[in-house]
Structure 1
Amino acid sequence: MKAILIDDEKPALQHLERLLLKDGRLEITGKYTSARRGLEHLERDKADIVFLDIGMPEMNGLEAGEYIAGLDRSTRIVYITAYSEYAIEAFELNAADYLLKPVTSQRLSKTLERLEKSEARTESLPKSAAQVKELSILCFKRLEFTDSMEPARKMQWRTSKAQEVFALLLHNRGQWIMKDTIVDLVWPDFKPEKAVTNLHTTVYHIRKLLKAWDMEVLVEFSQERYRLTKEKVVLDVEEFERGYSGTPVESDEEWLRRENVLKLYRGDYLEEHHYDWAEIRRKELQVRYIRMALHSAEYELSSGRPRQALDRLLDLQAVDPYSDQICRLALRSYADLGDFIGFRTHYDKYKELLERDLGIRPDQVMDSWVQKVL
């Protein structure tokens, strides 16, 4: 296994190098007193293990660890610190292990044994397991992962903040987001240092979850920014947008194709999580869904399926209860069914809702039409 060493204290760097050379299990391919130079090494040449000091002035080890995980999440990090209070925090982050200074040969030997066992487990995993899976990320109604091989499998977020940070990165569709922006949106009431520490820990837990699900999704870090990239993962919002059409339905084949698209919409975008930053996107997708579903309802009415149209329109009215277009088509469905009691009851409830909530009445054209039908 290849390893590089990063520590701004030259004596500590040389001491660790001597211990590793004496042990002989690792090949040291680089040692640096600057975190940035160590990262430059990793950009051009992969390492299996990075021994990384936490307390460095130019860029501390926790920040450098974020960058390393973004470059290659298979690279394992052993954090080194002179302060024991950082040890637990380091271990909670992207750490294979941690070492307290001064590093002893006995403690280092235990770390290397742990790394060897981890390497052996990785090599023993079947390579074809992920090839037959279809992994999906769902954003309509609530954020969920699904696995076609294990339909009953449930995801477990470590914290609600981990869920929100992941949702925010996914929401931005591969665009870089400044670290400070994420902190301001997710931890607005925290002091900056505490918020940044929480972010580092949260990103670690996200990466750990993605690894457990064997998803080809990366959380990358560069120049104080984060982004999320994905491959071979189905996203319901993207599938919906790809199949969306805002034009009238012309045939049964087109109606059926759109039905499969509309079924993706289980509820509003991230509806159950109430993220303020998702509100504009939520409304945009809701408008598209309603428009597309209304065209399907109109086709159902024109092709003699008023019951099917009515069921759809009642569901739509739950999404947008004040829409006169939805109400008008629902009334038309009742009329086509010959259900004039249902027609009157539906209209009276709609009129009462407008007066109670908005202080208005239905427009005169609709009211005249209703009276004429009755």
Structure 2
Amino acid sequence: MKAILIDDEKPALQHLERLLAKDGRLEISGKYTSARLGLQHLQQERADIVFLDIGMPEMNGLEAAEHIAVLDRSIRVVYITAYSEYAIEAFELNAIDYLLKPVTSQRLGKTLERLESREKQSAREAESATEERALSILGFKRLEFLDTSEPGKKLQWRTSKAQQVFALLLHNRGQWMLKDTIVDLVWPDFRPEKAVTNLHTTVYHIRKLLKTWGMDVLVEFSQERYRLTYKNVSFDVEEFVRGWRGTPVETDQEWASRDKVLSLYRGDYLAEHHYDWAEPKRKELQTAYVQMALRSAEYELGSARPREALARLISLQEIDPYSEDICRLVLRSYADLGDFIGFRKHYEKYKALLHSELGVHPGSLIDSWVQKVL
């Protein structure tokens, strides 16, 4: 395996080079005192491992690791730090291991054994046959991952911030987001330096989780920006938007097709997470759902299925309890069922709600229609 060394301290660079040469398991294809020079090397020649100092001027090791991931995500990173208080934090980043200065031959040997073990594991995973499975990301009600090959498997986020950063990138899927924008939305009260460090750590955990799940989802980094892309993975919000129709339903086949789309809506978009930045999208999707469901209820009433329409409309009224359109169709369902007691009770309840909550009365048209029916 080929390795390059990056450390702004020449004595430390030479010391590590001597230890690796003595061990003999790695071929050193380059050593550099700046991250930019090391990245230029990787643009021209592939390496399997990068030994990377964390504390460097111009570009620190955490930033450099993001650029390395863009160039080749298979490159292993071993962080090097002179400060023990950074050791755990470094290990949690996109690294296979960390080394504290001064590096000893014994500690380096453990790192190399870990590297060899990881390479063997990757080879076994590549050789093993994978069964057919469908992977899904769910955004309605709560953020979840589904794997048809393991139905009971649940995603365990390392932190709530990791979940929020993933949700934010998913919300803006395919679009580049400035690092500063993400930081301002997720860590608004943190000092910029600490917030950026948290972002690097969080992105690492997200990538690790996605790799564990075997999902073809990438968190990419370029020019101080991140974006999320995916393939071979379905997203319920995307499927809902693609299948949405606001026009009247004409046939049973069309009704069945739309019902499948409506069934994707398990609840409001990311409702259980209460992200402020998701609120406009939540309202937009909720309005779209209500409009499409109303068209289906109208078709059910027009095709003599008032009981199905009533169940759908009662559910819609929980989302928008003040809607006169929904109330009118609920009353029509009761009338078609011949349930005029239910008709009267529902309208009286609707009138009381408008009066107590909004201080208004139903419109004259619906009120006169109700009196005529009764």
Q: Same fold (TM over 0.5)?
A: yes
Q: Which residue of 2 aligns with 1:354?
A: 354
Matched with 2:220 is: 220
Between 1:305-314 and 1:171-180, the stretch displaced more is: 171-180
Aligned mates of 1:47, 1:41 — CA distance in 2: 9
Say if 2:352 is the partner of 1:371.
no
The residue that corresponds to 1:281 in the other structure is 281
CA deviations 1:85-137 (Å, max 9, x no partner) are 11111011111111112222222111111110111111112546546121110
C-alpha distance in structure 2 between counterparts of 1:232 and 1:47, whole Å: 29
Partner residue in 1 for 2:185: 185
Amino acid of the structure 2 residue aligned with 1:279: E
SS at match of 1:142: coil
Identity of aligned residues (%): 76
Larger CA deviation: 133-142 vs 41-50 = 41-50
Partner of 2:272: 272
AA of the residue aligned to 2:283: K
Structure 1 residues 129 and 265 mapped into 2: Cα distance closer, same or farther (>3 Å)?
farther
- CA deviation after TM superposition for structure 1 residue 178, in Å: 1.2
Please tell me whether the aligned partners of residues 50 and 78 of structure 1 are also in contact (alpha carbons under 8 angstroms): yes
- Taking a change above 3 Å as real, the CA distance of residues 5 and 310 of structure 1, as seen in their structure-2 partners, is same
Match of 1:159 in 2: 159
1:75 deviates by 2.0
Aligned to 2:233: 233
Deviations 1:64-92 (A, max 9, x none): 12332344333221001111111111011
Match of 2:89 in 1: 89
User: Any idea what SS the aligned residue of 2:260 has?
Assistant: helix
CA shift for structure 1 position 43:
3.7
| Corresponding residue pairs, total | 374
Q: Which runs of 5+ in 1 are unaligned?
A: none
CA distance in 1, matches of 2:205, 2:82: 25
Give the Å deviation of 1:2: 2.1
- Aligned residue number for residue 291 of structure 2: 291
The TM-score normalised by the length of structure 2 is: 0.96
Q: How does 1:73-112 map to 2 (within 5 A)?
A: 73-112=73-112
Measure the CA separation in 1 of the matches of 2:174 and 2:244: 22
Cα deviation code 1:186-239 (max 9, x no counterpart): 111112222122111111111111111011111112222111111111111111
From the superposition, tell whether residues 354 and 70 of structure 1 become closer, same or farther in structure 2 (CA, over 3 Å): farther
> What corresponds to 2:140 in structure 1?
140
1:317 alignment partner in structure 2: 317
Amino acid at match of 1:97: D
Please list, as runs of the form range in 1=range in 2, the aligned pairs for 1:329-340 lying within 5 A after superposition.
329-340=329-340
Q: Is the 8 A contact 1:71 1:220 kept in 2?
A: no
CA deviation digits over 1:288-311, x for unaligned, max 9?
111111111011000000000000
CA distance in 1, matches of 2:130, 2:94: 23
C-alpha contact 1:130 1:214 (8 A) present in aligned 2: no
What is the CA deviation profile of residues 273-331 of structure 1, one whole-angstrom value per residue up to 9, with x for unaligned ones? 01000001111111111111111101100000000000000001111111111111111
Q: Return the alpha-carbon distance in structure 2 between the equivalents of residues 211 and 340 of structure 1.
A: 58
Find the counterpart in structure 1 of residue 210 from structure 2: 210
Relative to 1, partners in 2 of residues 1:268 and 1:129: Cα closer, same or farther, differing over 3 Å? farther
- RMSD value over aligned CA atoms? 1.4
Task: Assess if the C-alpha contact under 8 Å between 1:67 and 1:220 holds in 2.
Answer: no
Q: Call closer, same or farther: CA 1:157–1:238 in 2, change over 3 Å.
A: same
Give CA-to-partner distance per residue, 1:133-153, whole Å, 9 cap, x none.
211100000000000100111
> CA distance change for structure 1 residues 129 and 275 in 2, over 3 Å: closer, same or farther?
farther
